[in-house]
Chain A
Amino acid sequence: MFLKKISLFNFKNYSEAQFDFSEDINCFSGNNGVGKTNLLDAIHYLSFCKSYFNSTDYLNIRHGSDFFILQGDFVNESKEETIYCSASINQRKIFKKNKKEYSRLSEHIGLFPSVVISPEDTNLIHEGSRARRKFLDSVISQFNKTYLENLINYNKALEQRDALLKNFAESGKFDLSSLLIWNKPLIENGDEIYQKRKEFLKIFIPVFQKYFKIISGGAEPVSLDYQSGLNQNSLQTLLDETIIADRNAQRTTSGIHKDDLIFKLGGHPLKTIGSQGQQKSFIIAMKLAQFECIKEIKKFCPILLLDDIFDKLDHNRINSLMNLVSTHHFGQIFITNTEEKKIREIFKKIKIDLKLFKIGENKNET
């Protein structure tokens, strides 16, 4: 599966532009602010029906206009499929495949999958546990619909239980039996989620470690530790033990919504001891492992979107990374970089062809 052609109309800083892509490696170069990342985001939009950066659709519309249109021609097993997307300030967004509108966006998501590696991903390291759970959940739900259902039900039950705890605090009345009934959906769904997360990580971690080793040259051992209250106790026990704490906090203080992934480098927390380059390598290895998981399930390669990937990495790591992505059957790849010369050098050294796009004032240039 690959993207053959894209056209943008009023998307972010593009008024009108069209690009024909190579099936292999495509590179966007240009100065800061010319729209390299926006172009990657347009591809992401066609893949996931949303921007990687702005969750609000109208923020992607070019200043001064009231709608945008994206159109992409994908080729899937030699069959061409045209995806059309438009969003405007007042109306809902429209997604069409071969001129036929989808009744639900979820029908589209997953048909043309992609994986983004962007400088923003370091928030996985620096932000709270919610970002890491979100990463884990989004990867697992991509291939396991039951997991997604469990997650939705768990969160609903959690919301209800928390609302009840708040009601107790406000009214000064406490009714144990009406609190306990919410433990049942939490336990039923929470146990499943915990098991699935554990099973998934058992497969995911070795793949992640393999990639980290390739990028870093095997210098440092890395690990992802799954931290969960359920590692020691059943959710039933945890909920029973924390009733008093829950009442004081007016929310549920134990359960799989408190799980976390601990990133470790040489046995120490990555957040505190990892250099910027090491942290970046760590994230890249995680994303590549995610790529491999999707590839395994879909039986074809997702599109790989690499935003400013060379920043902060040393020469050796850049070379081994590019070697990896270009020889390891990664399918179609899009790379952004400010320096055209640097890109040419890297790819000359590893003898890989690439299609270079100079993004500048004239947006149609190829």
Chain B
Amino acid sequence: MELPSKHITEAVEQLATLPGIGRKTALRLALHLLKQNKDEVERFAGSFINMRNKIQFCRSCHNISDNEICSICNNPKRNKKFICVVEDMRDVIAIENTRQFFGIYHVLGGIISPVDGIGPSDLNIDSLVEKVQKGEVNEIVLALSTTMEGDTTNYYLFKRLKEFNISISTIARGVAVGDDLEYTDELTLGKSILNRIPYENSFVKS
């Protein structure tokens, strides 16, 4: 693609490095920005520079944060002795949206997968064990993907943590709320029969 200006070429090349953006879309976006006021574009571009420079990872839970300690870990109303272990910050957002969890998080930054070159030492596991060692934790709930790799990471964490006197659980697997049984896939339905729960516990507290 031959462009009349090397500045546009540069902008298009930069935009095209974003995921899901090809050269044609990049050109459309660049031309759109060209039509806008200068200060609008400056604010637009500045926001990315700001984001990259100012954001840090929470020292306690490794979530993305504006300060050294993130707003969740800093919130006095949250139970610091109850930790939910998740893969990345998107899971934090998902669980926060449920408004069912009032403890704090621990973001691993991935799951164990030697095929992708990720071993236990590449994840934020030691800092979690440290926290438990110091006696800062009563309960841990493991909220990782329900894949074989997720389960194996759960197992690794359990092995590292079982010697301490804390309660460790995983999120439940089974039929989704509001689903018809006939449309549930066989494996999930089978698991939910194997892992059935006493009726008294089945009322959703909300």
Judge if A156 is at the interface, Cβ distance under 8 Å: yes
Main secondary structure of the interface of B (DSSP, over half): helix
| Number of B residues, CB within 8 Å of A | 17
Judge if A182 is at the interface, Cβ distance under 8 Å: yes
Interface contact A157-B119, CB-CB below 8 Å: no
150-188 of chain A: CB within 8 A of chain B: 153, 156-157, 159-161, 163-164, 167, 175, 177-178, 181-182, 184-185
Bound: A10/B98 CA distance, A: 54
For A161, what are the chain B residues with a Cβ–Cβ distance below 8 Å? 114
Judge if A220 is at the interface, Cβ distance under 8 Å: no
Contact of B187 among A145, A156, A164 (CB under 8 A): A145
For A177, what are the chain B residues with a Cβ–Cβ distance below 8 Å? 156, 159
Q: Take A153-B148, A178-B156 as given contacts and tell me if A163 and B112 are in contact as well, using a CB distance cutoff of 8 Å.
A: no
User: Chain B's nearest CB lies how many Å from the CB of A234?
Assistant: 18
User: Chain A's nearest CB lies how many Å from the CB of B101?
Assistant: 27
Interface contact A149-B187, CB-CB below 8 Å: yes
Interface contact A159-B148, CB-CB below 8 Å: no
User: Chain B's nearest CB lies how many Å from the CB of A23?
Assistant: 33
Contact of B112 among A149, A156, A178 (CB under 8 A): A178
Interface contact B114-A164, CB-CB below 8 Å: yes
Contact of A157 among B152, B186, B190 (CB under 8 A): B152
Interface contact A185-B115, CB-CB below 8 Å: no
Judge if A146 is at the interface, Cβ distance under 8 Å: yes
Interface contact B152-A159, CB-CB below 8 Å: no
Interface contact B148-A185, CB-CB below 8 Å: yes
Interface contact A156-B114, CB-CB below 8 Å: no
Chain A contact-residue range equals 10 to 19
Bound: A3/B33 CA distance, A: 60
Bound: A157/B151 CA distance, A: 11
Bound: A157/B113 CA distance, A: 9
Interface contact A185-B114, CB-CB below 8 Å: no
Contact of B115 among A146, A149, A163, A178 (CB under 8 A): A163
Judge if B10 is at the interface, Cβ distance under 8 Å: no
Residue-wise, chain B 146-164 has the 8 Å CB interface mask toward A (1 for contact) of 0011011001100100000
Interface contact B187-A160, CB-CB below 8 Å: no
For B149, what are the chain A residues with a Cβ–Cβ distance below 8 Å? 156, 160
Interface contact A185-B152, CB-CB below 8 Å: yes
Q: Take A160-B115, A163-B114, A178-B120 as given contacts and tell me if A184 and B155 are in contact as well, using a CB distance cutoff of 8 Å.
A: yes
User: Chain A's nearest CB lies how many Å from the CB of B113?
Assistant: 6
Chain B residue nearest to A149 (CB atoms) is: B187
Chain B residue nearest to A179 (CB atoms) is: B114
User: Chain A's nearest CB lies how many Å from the CB of B152?
Assistant: 6
Judge if B117 is at the interface, Cβ distance under 8 Å: yes
Bound: A249/B24 CA distance, A: 49
Contact of A184 among B152, B187, B190 (CB under 8 A): B152
Bound: A182/B113 CA distance, A: 10
Bound: A177/B120 CA distance, A: 10
Interface contact A146-B152, CB-CB below 8 Å: no
Chain B residue nearest to A161 (CB atoms) is: B114
User: Chain A's nearest CB lies how many Å from the CB of B24?
Assistant: 19
Bound: A185/B117 CA distance, A: 19
Interface contact A181-B114, CB-CB below 8 Å: no
Interface contact B119-A178, CB-CB below 8 Å: yes
Interface contact A181-B159, CB-CB below 8 Å: yes
Q: Take A163-B115, A178-B120, A181-B156 as given contacts and tell me if A156 and B148 are in contact as well, using a CB distance cutoff of 8 Å.
A: yes
Interface contact A145-B186, CB-CB below 8 Å: yes
Chain B residue nearest to A189 (CB atoms) is: B148
Chain A residue nearest to B156 (CB atoms) is: A181
Bound: A159/B187 CA distance, A: 23
Chain A residue nearest to B113 (CB atoms) is: A160
Interface contact B155-A181, CB-CB below 8 Å: yes
For A167, what are the chain B residues with a Cβ–Cβ distance below 8 Å? 114, 117, 119
Question: A167-B119, A175-B119, A185-B151 known; 8 other A-B pairs, CB under 8 Å?
Answer: A146-B187, A146-B190, A156-B148, A157-B148, A164-B114, A178-B112, A181-B112, A181-B159
Q: List 25 A-B contacts (CB under 8 A).
A: A145-B186, A145-B187, A146-B187, A146-B190, A149-B187, A156-B148, A157-B148, A157-B152, A159-B115, A160-B114, A160-B149, A163-B115, A164-B119, A167-B114, A175-B119, A177-B156, A178-B112, A178-B119, A178-B120, A181-B155, A181-B156, A181-B159, A184-B152, A185-B148, A185-B152
Top 8 nearest A-B pairs (CB, nearest first) are A164-B114, A163-B114, A153-B148, A163-B115, A181-B156, A156-B148, A160-B114, A145-B186
